[in-house]
Amino acid sequence: MESFYPKNGRVILHIDANAFFASVEMAENPALKNKPVIISGNPEERKGIVVAANYLCKAKGVYTTMALREALKHVPEAVVIKPNHTVYKEYSKQIFAYLEEISPLIEYASIDEAYLDITACAHLGSPIDIAMKIQQEIVKRLDIPLSIGIAPNKFLAKMASDMKKPLGLTVLRKRDVERVLWNKPVVEAHGIGEKTAAKLHEHGIVTMGDLAKVDVKKVQAIMGVRGVRMRERVNGIDNRPVDPEANTSYKSIGNSTTFPTNIAEPAAIRVKLRALSRSVSARMKQKKAVSRTIQVMIRYDDFKTVTRSQTLHRDIQEEADLFVAAERIFFKHWNGEPVRLLGITAQNAVDKRTQTTQMDLFSFQEEADKLEPLFTAVETLKRKFGDSIIKKGLE
């Protein structure tokens, strides 16, 4: 199966639950299966907007955000249902839980879509095998159809999943970008809305191909750095990782690595644990997060996976602290067999800025002495250039 996976690239899935709210209502009430279904906030008074609609409605011109009265002109026989977000969240939770069984590298894009990095999942079959298994299993468990895009990066995977609905499965390779995407309107590129498309049209950029070929300086002048990124993406370039923490600033911040060859030497394992601790610490500092619950994941050669965690008496963020905790957890629970994958996660992380530091009189004075030169310099700058010259990071 390794032949289906690139040696130096990635394999990313974008999973999209089709007409999700309407699909959940039909799964909950099979009598709705062959009827047009609209989800709207005020079905009794027949007013408000369309929150979601199934494909029978969409085929007749109904779309999300359309006024309900207008939608009912298109499909007067539609069954209108008030949204039940508690149920939708439960279905979403079950879908994502299953995806996490496939790969821990999952990024939730919304309640009904996610990115899944399956680069290290060759043991489960080809990318198409994995995608088909996901579709079949979610239909079997929840009766929810999924469309899945398979690609070497997130942008192309998202574009691919949008191409065939419902229950679509599309592979989009970088070499196919010019043939498949460049003739499409630029507004269909994920990340470009109507207003941005209108601005691009003013400069003669109408299709994705136009954007792909436009001079970098020109698109930067029109859209800034975001324009340069979008130009790269319609050329098939998108280096963003699938980030399990992208949607939630904190909660859990972690990293894992699969080794080219299994390792069993304690010294080599310590080297890997330290590298992971360094990576997790850097991400925690970037997010200004701290945690006191550290989890270690161990995967053996037979793919058996063990996760163990420990709650500490204080919040930590530094590499050295993470390493000490992870090392202690690992060697307490390691069975001595060769290790295929290691992971470290800081669980239940919180914003460092919300945590209060306990200080006695002496430590308070010590901290004040450290900050005094900074305060003096700030006051000097303010006197010279005005109060607005420097602001605090949260202002």
The alpha helices in the chain, defined as continuous H runs, are: 20-28, 55-58, 68-74, 85-102, 127-142, 154-161, 177-180, 194-202, 208-213, 216-223, 225-234, 266-286, 319-333, 361-385
Binding site feature residues for Mg(2+): 16, 112
CA distance 90 to 109: 16
3-state class (DSSP) for residue 367:
helix
- Contact residues for 105 (Cβ-Cβ < 8 A; gap 6+): 116, 117, 118, 242, 244, 256
Pairwise CA distance, residues 58 & 33, whole Å: 15
For residue 117, the cross-strand partners are: 12
DSSP characters over 75-92: -TTPEEE---HHHHHHHH
Residue 113: active-site member = yes
DSSP secondary structure, 125-177, as one string: --HHHHHHHHHHHHHHHH---EEEEEESSHHHHHHHHTTSTTT-EEE--GGGH
Angle between helices 194-202 and 216-223 (to 10 degrees): 130
Instruction: Please report how many Cα atoms fall inside a 13 Å half-sphere around the Cα of residue 170, on the Cβ side.
Output: 23
Element (H, E) at 261: strand 251-263
Residue 208: phi and psi, rounded to 5, are: -65, -35
- Whether the CB-CB separation of 342 and 257 falls below 8 Å is answered with yes
Q: How far apart are CA 290 and CA 286, in angstroms?
A: 11
Out of 45, 77, 101, 113, pick the active-site residue: 113
Catalytic residue positions, numbered: 113
